[in-house]
Amino acid sequence: MTALPPAGPPVTSIDEAVARMEEIDAALPSVDGLACFNHMYLGVTTAVRVRVMSGDFADPGFVSHLDVVFANVYLEAVDALARDATVPKAWQPLLASRAAPGIEPIQFALAGMNAHINHDLPIAVKQACIDLGTAPGDGHHHDDYGKVDELLDDAEHSVRQSFESGIVLEADRHGQAVLDLVCNWSMNSAREVAWDNALALWSVRRNTWATALLTGTLARTVAMASRMLLLTV
Q: Which of 95-109, 155-169, 172-186 has the highest mean pLDDT?
A: 95-109
* Average pLDDT rounded to a whole number, residues 103-119: 91
Query: What pLDDT digit, counting tens, does each position of 49-86 carry?
Result: 999 999 999 999 999 999 999 999 999 999 999 999 99
At residue 106, the pLDDT reads 85
The DSSP call for residue 13 is S
Helices 60-82 and 141-165: angle between axes, nearest 10 degrees: 50
The 10 Å Cβ neighbour count of residue 75 is: 22
Burial class (CB in 10 A: 0-12, 13-18, 19+), 129: buried
Residue 175 is predicted with a pLDDT of 59
- Summarize the confidence of residues 32-39 as an average pLDDT: 94
* 232 band by pLDDT with thresholds 50, 70 and 90: confident
Q: Reply yes or no on whether the pLDDT at 167 is more than 60.
A: no
Q: Above 80 in pLDDT, residue 186?
A: no
Phi then psi for residue 164, to 5 deg, are: -65, -35
Q: Write down the pLDDT at residue 6.
A: 86
Q: H helices then E strands: how many in the chain?
A: 10, 0
C-alpha distances (whole Å) from 119 to each of 58, 112, 116, 132 are: 25, 10, 6, 21
Q: For residue 37, give the H/E element and its range.
A: helix 33-53
pTM of the complete model beyond 0.85: yes
Evaluate if residue 15 carries a pLDDT over 80: yes
